[in-house]
Structure 1
Amino acid sequence: MKLKTTITCTGGACLLVAAFATALSAQRPVEDSAAEGYASVTAENIALTGVTLIDGTGEPGRRGQTVVISGNRIAAVGPDGTVDIPAGAEVMDLSGHTVIPGMVGLHNHLFYTAAGGRSAQLTFSAPRLYLGSGVTTVRTTGSRQPYAEINLRDEIDAGRAPGPRIHITAPYITAGGGISQMTMIESPEQARRFVRYWAAEGATWLKAYTNIRTEELTAVIDEAHRQGIKVTGHLCSISFTEAVGLGIDNIEHGLATNSDYSPGRDKDECPQTMWSDAVGIDPNGPEAQATFKAMIDADVAMTSTLAVYELFIQGRPTRDARSLDAMAPAVREDYLAAKAQIDEIGRPEEDFLTAMAYEKAFYRAGGVLAAGVDPTGNGGALPGYGDQRNYELLSEAGLEPHEVVQVISANGARVLDLFDDLGTVEAGKIADLVVMSGDLTADPAVIRNVTVVFKDGVGYDSVKMLEDVRVRV
C-alpha cells in the first residue's frame, strides 16, 4: 500500500517530495553475482543531463532534459538547469542521447524456436537479450517450462541473475486433442482445476491458444478472475469480439489471428482461410471499427507482435546482423536458408502492410495497443532485438515516436496493472530507463543504440550484456 506522496512542479520541473512504500520490491544486484557483473552505474543519486526525453505519457519528446534518480525511484524530471541535483550525485552528461522508459514486453517468451525444428529454453541468453536491449519487464505469454521460468524469476528478483522483471504465464491451454506440449482442456471442470493450480503456483496470466472452445474458455476466464489473475489469447476458433463477450482481458497478435472476418464460420471453428479473410478488409472500414469498439468499450488491449510476422513476408529486411551474430552457427545457417525460401514463396508484403495499418487504426481509435517480440517461428526475431524491431515497424506503420514509446512502455504497464510504478519517466516512478546514443525522434533505428539500461535505479552495461550472448542462441 502506497503512502500519500506529494509531487510539486515548477517551471516544467517535477520533484517527488514525500517518501512512500511500494508493492514492487527493489531488484538490486547482490555482491559478486552475475547481475552485479553488468552493473555500471550504482550511485545512490544519479543525474542524467542534456537528454532528449520521450517520457511514455504520449507527449512529444523534449530536448535538454534532466532526470534525477534517488535510490530506485525517479526523484525529479525537468529542463536542464531547473532541477535540483543532490550534492554528491553522479552526473552523467548525456548530450546527444535519448532516454525512454524501460520497455514492457507483453509477448516475451523465455523459450525460442527456430528453423530446422529447433526449440530451446533460453535461461541464460533471453534475460540478457531482453535487459540489454532495454526491456525491463516481460510477460511470458505462454510457458513451455514454467518451473524453469518461475525459478529464473526468483533468481532475478533476488538480485543474483541479470534480467527483466518476469510476469509468469501458465502453460498454454487449447483443445482438440493431438500430440502437443500444450494442455488440452476438454471440460469446464478441468479448466477450473488448471486455473486454480497455476494461480497457486504464482502465474498471474493464462494464455488460450487457437483451438480453445467457448465453454472451456468461459470457465477459464471466470475462474481466473475469481483467483485474481488474467487471461489473454492467441485466438482463431473464438473471434476477437466473441472473446471480448466472454470477458477476456487481452488479445494477442492483431489482424492475423482474428476470425471476426471469416464469413460463415461455425461456432468454435478455426477457419483455414482466416489470414486471407482478415487481410481482405479495410482496416479503417466498418468491420474493423466494430471490432475496435467492442475491445475499447470492454478495455481489452491488443498486443502487437509485428516483428515475428515480418519474418514470413517476402522481401522484408529480416537479416539483422546483430541477431545473426547472436545465433549459433547452425541456427544461423538454417535461418538464412529459411529466409531465402520465404523471399520466394512467403506472404506478399501487401498483407503485412494491412496488418500494420490495422494496429495503427486500433491505436488511433483509442485502443490500448501494447507490444512484444514473440521469439518463435523461424527464429529471426530474437528476445530484445525483436522488441526494438517492433518500435521500427510501428514507426513504419505511421505512429509518431512518442506514440510508439507509449505503446512499448506505458501501455504494457497498464495491461499488467503496473502503471502506478512503471511505464513512464515521471517523478515518483521506479527508475527503469533506457539510454541510447542518438536522437530517436529523428531516426527509428536509434532504438538499436542502447548504451545503458536502468532497472530499479541501477544502470546496466548494455554493450557488455549483449556481447555475452553472441553465438549462444
Structure 2
Amino acid sequence: MRKFIATPVAIIVLLAPVRLPAQSAAELGPETTQFVAITGPTVALTGVTVLDGTGAGARPNQTVVIEGNRIAAVGPAGAVDVPAGAEVRDLAGHTVIPGMIGLHNHMFYMGAGGRMSQGAVSSPRLYLAAGVTTIRTTGSVSPYADLNVKSNIERGLAPGPRMHVTAPYVTGPNPALGDMAQVTTPEEARRFVRYWAGEGASWIKAYTTIRRAELAAIIEEAHAHGLRVTGHICSITFQEAVDLGMDNIEHGFGTATDFDPRKRPDECPPNSMVMVGEQGDPSGEIARALVLSMVEARVGMTSTMAVIEPMTKGRAVLDERTLEAMAPEVREDYLETVDAIQADPDWAMTEAHLQKHMTFERGFVEAGGVLAAGVDPTGIGGAIAGFGDQRNYELLIEAGFDAPTVVRIMSANGARIMGIEDELGTIEPGKLADLVVLQGDLEADSAIIRNVTVVFKDGVGYDSEKLIDSVKGMVGIR
C-alpha cells in the first residue's frame, strides 16, 4: 500500500520454477550464529501437532525429522524412525507449521506522517523471528540496499528470511510519486524491466498511475526475462490487469477500481480507496464476475489486512510487542495518529470497509482463487515486519477461514504464486526444512501464532526471542 491518501490480449507464458539457495549452520557467520538455537544436522521434533500447509486438518502427536536442510520424514509418533545420533526435541504441547511466506513485505518501514527508513537490520530479524522465512520485497525504495541484504543473508553474514527482490516501484506520470520510476512509453517500460532483470530483481511491481500500454509492455518484457509482475493498481482495473496477463494483484477489495463508478480509462479516480469502501459491493455482480475472471486466469491475490486495520476507525492497534520494537519518537508519532483517527468523526476508513475486504477475500477463496498474505509495513506504521504478518493470520481467522486454510494461505499459496512450491510452503519429506514451532494449540487459538519459540530455515533453528530482543527500539531507525 505504501501510503494512505484520504483524498490487449492476455499474455500466456510458462515461467520456470525458481531455484533456491540453501545453507547449513557451518556456513553462518558470527552475526548470524549468535541467534542459532539448534544446529543439526539431524533433528527430530517429537510429540508435535502438525498443520502442514496443504489445507489438511491438524495432526497431533507427530514426529518431524530434519536431515541437513531438508525434511526427511513426517508421521505419527512410533511410525517414524528417528536416526541414531539425532538431536531429539520433545515438543508436546507445541504446533509446527511451515515457514510463512510474506508476499507483500518490504525492507523499508513507513510510519506516521510519511516517516520512512530502511530496516536493513530490524526488518530481516523481525521477519525471521515471527516465522516468516521467505519474503518478496513488493516494491523497493532502495533496491540496491535490498539486494545487498539478500546477499548478506545468503552468505550467512546476517540473519533473515529468503528474499525475492522486487525492482523499484514503477508507475505512470505523477508528480506526487517522485521517488518512483515513471514510465510514459512502452519502450521506457521495457527498458526499465530489462535493466532490473539484469540487476537481480525477480519481480516487478506496478503502482497506482501505471497505464495500460506501459503495463502491457512491462508484463510481456518481464515474462520474456523470467520475471513476474504484481501491482497496487488504480488507473488500471483488476479486470484490465487480468486481461493483460498480470501474475498477482495486491491488497484486494479496497484498490479495485472496478467498483468505482467514476473510473475512466488509464486514470486513477481521486480518493478511490474511500469510494470503493463506501460504495463497492464485495459480493455483488461486479465482484462475482471479477473473482471468476481472476480464478480462470490463475491470477493470485495478496491480502494485506494488517496494514489496513491500524487505519480503521475503532480498531486502535496497540500491540505491546510492536510498540516496544519502535524507536521512541516513532512510537510517539504513531500513538498520536491513532488517537487522531479515533477522534475524527469523519474518518473514512471504517469497520464496514475492513469487513468488505474480508468478504471479498472469502468469496475469492471460495471460488478457487489463490490468496496469499503480506504485512506491507507502511500506512500509519502500525503493521511492522513479522508481527504484522502474524496479525494477518489472526485477521484471516476473524474473516471466517479455519486454521488449516489460513496456514495454507500464509505458506503454500505464497509459494505457489512465487513458483517455489516444489521447495517450500508445506511440511513434506524432501522439501526445505523451513518450519515454525509455536507453543500451544494454534487450531484452538489464533493468538498462538505469536508464541514462536524456534524458527527453522534450511534446517537451522533460530531463537525467536533473541532476534526480537536484538531490535527493540530500532524500527523506524535501522
- TM-score class, shorter-chain normalisation, is over 0.9
Q: In structure 1, what residue type is equivalent to 2:405?
A: E
Once the two structures are aligned, what percentage of the paired residues are identical? 57
Partner of 2:200: 202
The answer to whether the Cα contact below 8 Å between 2:29 and 2:156 also exists between their aligned partners in 1 is no
Mapped partners of 2:104, 2:357: distance in 1: 17
Q: How does 1:108-123 map to 2 (within 5 A)?
A: 108-123=105-120
Alignment of 1:162 onto 2:164:
no
Residues 441-450 or 31-40, more deviating: 31-40
Residues 215-268 of structure 1, C-alpha deviation per residue, up to 9 Å, x if partnerless? Answer: 111111111111110110001110000110011110000001000111252111
The counterpart of 1:438, out of the listed 428, 437, 440, is: 440
Q: Tell me the amino acid that sits aligned with residue 97 of structure 1.
A: H
Code of the aligned partner of 1:349? E
**d(CA) in 1 for partners of 2:29, 2:428:** 32
Question: Is the Cα contact below 8 Å between 2:28 and 2:155 reproduced in 1?
Answer: no
CA contact (8 A) 1:105 1:135 kept: yes
- Residue number in structure 1 paired with 2:334: 335
Matched, 1:28 2:24: yes
**Where do 1:18-417 residues align within 5 Å?**
23-29=19-25, 30-179=27-176, 180-272=178-270, 274-279=272-277, 280-345=279-344, 346=347, 347-417=349-419
Tell me, in whole angstroms, the C-alpha distance in 2 between the residues paired with 1:342 and 1:23. 45
Measure the CA separation in 2 of the matches of 1:264 and 1:31.
Answer: 55
Structure 1 residue runs of 4 or more that deviate by more than 6 Å after TM superposition: none
- Report the counterpart of residue 19 of structure 1 in structure 2: none
User: Which one scores higher on RCO, CA 8 angstroms, separation ≥ 6?
Assistant: 2
Distance 1:334 1:287 in 2: 39
Partner of residue 471, structure 1: 473
User: Deviation per CA, 1:182-211, whole angstroms, max 9, x where unpaired?
Assistant: 001011111111000000111010000000
Q: More deviation in 341-350 or 54-63?
A: 341-350
Paired with 1:178 and 1:283, the residues of 2 have a C-alpha distance of: 32
Q: How far did 1:360 drift?
A: 1.3
Q: Separation in 1 of the partners of 2:274 and 2:198? A: 41
Distance 1:148 1:369 in 2: 29
Letter matched to residue 73 of structure 2 = A
Q: Aligned residues, how many? A: 452
1-structure distance, mates of 2:68, 2:316: 41
Q: Name the CA shift for 1:329/1:52 in 2 (closer, same or farther; >3 Å).
A: same
What is the rounded CA distance, in whole Å, between the counterparts of 2:131 and 2:118 in structure 1? 21
Structure 2 letter corresponding to 1:448: R
Contact 2:260–2:276 (8 Å) recurs in 1 = yes
Given that 1:261 and 1:274 are in contact with CA atoms closer than 8 Å, whether structure 2 keeps it comes out as no
- Residue type of the alignment partner of 2:189: A
- SS at 1:107 equivalent: strand
The two structures, once aligned, show a CA RMSD in angstroms of 1.2
Q: 2:242 aligns to what SS in structure 1? A: helix
- C-alpha separation in 1, matches of 2:409 and 2:28: 35
- Mark the CA change 1:444 to 1:155 in structure 2 (over 3 Å): closer, same or farther: same
Distance 1:293 1:202 in 2: 34
Shift of 1:285: 2.5
1:284, distance to aligned residue in structure 2 (A): 2.6
Distance 1:81 1:406 in 2: 27
With 151-160 and 256-265 compared, the bigger mean Cα shift is at: 256-265
2:457 is equivalent to residue 461 of structure 1: no
Q: Check whether the contact 1:51–1:99 (CA below 8 A) recurs between aligned residues.
A: yes
Shift of 1:317: 4.3
Check conservation: 2:36, 2:463, Cα contact below 8 A: yes
Inter-partner Cα distance in structure 2 for 1:84 and 1:132: 30
Instruction: Work out the CA distance in 2 between the residues paired with 1:117 and 1:277.
Output: 23
Q: Greater CA deviation, 55-64 or 284-293?
A: 284-293
Match in the other structure for 1:447 = 449
Q: What is the CA distance between 1:283 and its match in structure 2?
A: 2.5
Could you tell me whether the CA contact under 8 Å between 1:262 and 1:273 is conserved in 2?
no
Structure 1: runs of 5 or more not aligned: 1-21
What CA deviation, in whole Å up to 9, does each residue of 1:410-444 have, x standing for no partner?
Answer: 00000110000000001110000000111000000
Structure 1 residues 327 and 264: alpha-carbon distance in aligned structure 2, compared to 1, 3 A threshold? closer
Q: Which runs of 5+ in 2 are unaligned?
A: 1-17
Identify which range, 261-270 or 299-308, moves more after superposition.
261-270
Shift of 1:273: 5.0
The answer (yes or no) to whether the contact 2:43–2:66 under 8 Å persists in 1 is yes
- Structure 1 position 320, deviation (Å): 0.6
Per the TM alignment, residue 32 of structure 1 is displaced from its structure 2 partner at its CA by: 4.5
Tell me by how many angstroms 1:315 deviates.
Answer: 1.3
Q: Distance in 1 between matches of 2:98 and 2:461?
A: 13
CA distance in 2, matches of 1:224, 1:199: 8
Measure the CA separation in 2 of the matches of 1:136 and 1:229.
Answer: 21
Aligned partners of 1:27 and 1:156 also within 8 Å: no
On the 8 A contact 2:129/2:467 being kept in 1, the answer is yes
Amino acid at match of 1:344: A
**Counterpart residue number, 1:13:** none
Q: TM-score, normalised by structure 1?
A: 0.94
C-alpha distance after superposition, 1:151-197 (max 9, x if no partner) = 11011011111000000100001112315100010111111110000
Distance (Å, rounded) in 2 between the aligned partners of 1:427 and 1:273:
49
Give the residue type in structure 2 aligned to 1:133: A
Paired residues of 2:299 and 2:370 also in contact (CA < 8 A): yes
- CA distance in 1 between counterparts of 2:373 and 2:450 reads 16
Other structure's SS at 2:34 match = helix
